[in-house]
Amino acid sequence: MPTGPGATAVPDERHWYAANELLAFLLELAALACLSWWGFTVGDDALLHVLLGLGTPVAAVALWALFAAPRARLRPRLPLVLAVKALVLGGGAAALYGVGHPVGAVAMAVVVTANTAVAELFRRRPTFPQTGT
């Protein structure tokens, strides 16, 4: 980091990586909440509300745990991981649209897309050793 008069400190890349990972986690939680919200509002039958309100996010968690989590039980190639992320996170945005919040759904979809793109950039960048610390 630069020192001296007029020098500005540039945040370390690790901080941006950590912030993006935190945002990813919050988006995952938001997607599960939206899926549950949608499930509890769809249809007229109370039993259907409970089944979809609880079952949809549980199914999403199971898919995520199997294929997309950092410590996933199965280690598929990147296209399948991205497909599962698109299904779960995109499903959260679609669920938000389904409960009557189209602007929120679009905003969520844009943030999810940007977050995933940045995560891929971090994943593909070579790491260089820190110098001068």
Distance CA 20, CA 27 (A): 10
At 1-54, the pLDDT tens digits run 455 555 454 457 788 888 999 999 999 999 999 999 999 999 889 999 999 999
Closest by alpha carbon to 41, among 3, 97, 122, 109?
A: 97
CA neighbor of 29 nearest in space, from 67, 55, 64, 70: 64
Model's pTM, two decimal places? 0.81
Structural domain boundaries in the chain: 14-124
- Token code pair at residue 1: 């980091």
pLDDT in tens, 51-64: 999 999 999 999 99
DSSP track, 69-109: STT-SS---HHHHHHHHHHHHHHHHHHHHHTT-HHHHHHHH
d(CA 36, CA 46): 14
Report d(CA 59, CA 52) in Å as an integer.
10
Residue 104 predicted with pLDDT over 60: yes
- Residue 104 neighbours by CB under 8 Å, 6+ apart: 96
Q: In whole angstroms, how large is the CA radius of gyration of the chain?
A: 19
105's tokens = 């759904």
Contact 2, 8 (CB under 8 A): yes
